[in-house]
Chains A and B, each alone.
Chain A
Amino acid sequence: MTTVRRLTLACAAIAVAVGLSACGERDQVTVYKQGKYQGKPDTKPWENDPGASLYTSSKWNKGDKTSWESAVKTRNLAQNEYTRVE
């Protein structure tokens, strides 16, 4: 093998090595991790007895999320005046 050919091969190998070195680059986009709530715990609305407040107008079973949701939904549907007047 001639010296020129060896040199050419060496140059090509170096060029490939340099070219591929970028493939090992780490991701430059930072992945943010969502923080975790550090405050005090809060009670759920349905965990209260409907009679706990003087001003409660709806009725649900204490601790029963489904019954609270249906009570709130009934209240929510009252915002539709079409169903109220028809």
Chain B
Amino acid sequence: MARMKFLCDAERCIECNGCVTACKNENEVPWGVNRRRVVTINDGVVGAEKSISVACMHCSDAPCMAVCPVDCFYRTDEGVVLHDKDLCIGCGYCFYACPFGAPQFPQAGAFGLRGKMDKCTFCAGGPEKDFSKEEFAKYGSNRLAQGKLPACAEMCSTKALLGGDGDVIADIYRQRVFKRGKGSEVWGWGTAYGKPDQPKAAPAGAKS
């Protein structure tokens, strides 16, 4: 299996910030830290406004992992990029390396001292005993060990944000694009990695 991935459908995202709230609530993320955020372009321009929910994308070849001077990152069997906070020195290299701005640094002292890095864990906890107090305090909820998927994706009201096995969510997204009656002009996985032969075209102008 299993390369756990997020995929956000800009056609569906309504900038409700439900994913951000779900993440904050599920993981009890501290003030000043946003593991997930919604980015909007062309804000207020009718017909041109697009939003997308961004967090750690759990890269297959993660730059944060490559630059970490203390090698505190690891990739799980499901392709989730996690890190050991006991080892992290809060240097911020991963923040500079990450193209998504995923690593976050809580303020750890009165003088703006940078704390240990915090980021989206794909709701997979971290290197502590599963469901332990330590795991929750350091990394948040471990929904994968409960047979669940990230709270942000499962809570998304318009199902713009999909999370899970890359192949499965790519299939869901592909089916959605065909239902819309659109094809290769839509950005995303299908555009990048191809689509099945002979798609069944939906009526022109149909929206999902």
Contact = CB atoms under 8 A, between A and B. Distances in A.
Is A bound to B? yes
Interface of A: 32, 34-45, 47-48, 50, 52-53, 55-60, 65, 68-69, 71-73, 75-77, 79-82
Contacts, number: 119
Given A48-B145, A53-B142, A75-B154, 6 more contacts: A36-B71, A38-B71, A39-B127, A40-B86, A65-B77, A73-B168
Interface of B: 1-2, 65-66, 68, 70-74, 76-78, 82-84, 86-87, 124-131, 142, 144-149, 153-154, 159, 162-165, 168-169, 172, 175-176, 179
B145 A45 contact: yes
A75 B50 CA distance: 28
Nearest to A55: B146
B86 A53 contact: no
B162 A40 contact: no
Nearest to B131: A53
B164 A72 contact: yes
B153 A79 contact: yes
A52 B125 CA distance: 15
Nearest to B73: A37
